[in-house]
Structure 1
Amino acid sequence: MIAGYLSFLLIGLTLLIGPIKSWLPGRWTAACLSIRRDVGIWAGLTGILHVCLVLILFEGEPKLYMISDTRPDQTGGWLRLFLYAPPESGVWPIPNWSFTGVANYLGAIAFILLLALLCTSSGRAEKWLGSSAWKRLHLANPWLFLLVLFHGLIYIQSIKGEPHSFSDLLVFAVVVWFVRSLSFGRTVLKRRW
């Protein structure tokens, strides 16, 4: 979970660097963009670490105390993150639409988006994709942040375990939203005057 929290924080920082850059003198632009790219790469690497550790833990030992689903589980390993095979269904597992299952689906979508952003975080990828397509892809970063936020909030609600609480994620999300909104408002006012 630490790797997941760290990835969430780093994704949020990438969203904060843009507004902060706009408040600094122009000579800082190149440095801020370089820092944002590096922070984004670290966000991707910690996100991959989080997913790898979760998959390893769900393959066997140690047993996770946080999964409190009372339904019998007939699927094995990490597949039970996404599938549920009730006894009456025979062999065909069905999607896990429990609270935790929905969090896992959100996490999987976020992971795919995170991989796309990570794989295209170089100047070479930007040239290969073209500036317009690359920018459209990287404008998905706020959506990634929201997916990870909801993934985390649902997990916190489903495990109901201390020391985790909604405020762990929500306070940071509100700060990111506030700074970005403030920067947006400042930019709009600047352009109107």
Structure 2
Amino acid sequence: MKLEGWAITAWIAGLILLALLILFGLSGWSPTTITSGIDATGRCSLLLFSVAFTASSLHRLWRVPLTTWTLLNRRWIGLGFASSHFIHLALILSMSLAFPEPFLSRQSMGQWVFGGIGYGFVFLMAVTSSDRAQHWMGMKSWKRLHLTGSYWLWTVFLFTYIKHVKQGPDWLYLPLLVFTIALLPIRLAKQLPPRPSLGTAA
């Protein structure tokens, strides 16, 4: 069975929720386990975002079955990212309410505002991820929203992992920061001429 469409989003959300249920079932509900869940869903969101963010560029550069599948299902992968990131938000709010200190004192107002705008973009991009929304908004406005939102979210991930690298441990967060930075040139590479498909005669 080929995984396509809504099934991709459902599998992503289901697996994340299952992993969290296992985590909290084995380790209990505590600041440590919630923090682990926040970190894990954040990394999961970054991975899913990276796939949606670079899908068209990778397909233009390497037209192989995997990149074709990714491009065709980018909408559903993006909705999977939205699911992951709202689960991430739910854990942040749970931590803020159940164990506010020292969690809240470590967060700046700028983080809440910058991240909050990011969640606004996630919501708007998710609810407009349909052909009907494209028709209603007009392609120009739709593209402007999704382009602005995607670069805003990339910037949120960038500053998040810059902060994590400063706090450490470097061995964990520095590769994630490098990975996040690398997404930008890959995204911009879509401006390059497309490479021929594998097996195509020169």
Q: TM-score range by the shorter chain?
A: 0.5 to 0.7
Is 2:95–2:103's contact at 8 Å kept on the other side of the alignment? Answer: no
1:54 and 2:62 matched: no
Match of 2:144 in 1: 136
Report the aligned-residue RMSD: 3.0
Contact 1:8 1:149 (8 Å CA) reproduced: no
Deviates most, 175-184 or 160-169: 160-169
8 Å contact from structure 2 (residues 96, 104) kept in 1: no
Change (3 A) 1:109 1:164: farther
Higher mean C-alpha deviation, range 30-39 or range 52-61: 30-39
The match for 1:36 is: 74
* Aligned position for 1:16: 54
Instruction: State the alpha-carbon separation in 2 of the partners of residues 137 and 20 from structure 1.
Output: 22
Deviation of residue 65 (structure 1)?
5.8
Structure 2: runs of 5+ lacking an equivalent: 1-38, 195-202
Query: Aligned-pair distance for 1:184?
Result: 2.4
The structure showing larger relative contact order (alpha-carbon pairs under 8 Å, at least 6 residues apart) is 2
Partner letter of residue 136 of structure 1? R
**Residue of 95, 116, 121 corresponding to 2:124:** 116
Shift of 1:24: 4.7
1:68–1:136: structure 2 CA closer, same or farther, 3 Å change rule? closer
Match of 1:151 in 2: 160
Match runs of 1:165-184 below 5 Å: 165-184=172-191
Deviation by residue 1:59-84 (Cα, 9 ceiling, x = unmatched): 024x6665665xxxxxxxxxxx6xxx
Q: What is the TM-score with the length of structure 1 in the denominator?
A: 0.66
Identity %: 25
Residue among 85, 105, 116 paired with 2:113? 105
Aligned to 2:4: none
Q: Match of 1:37, as an amino acid?
A: R
Q: TM-score, normalised by structure 2?
A: 0.64
Deviation at 1:133, TM superposition (A): 1.3
Give unpaired runs (5+ residues) of structure 1.
Answer: 70-80, 82-99, 188-193
Instruction: Say how many residue pairs are matched.
Output: 155
Note the C-alpha offset of 1:41: 0.5
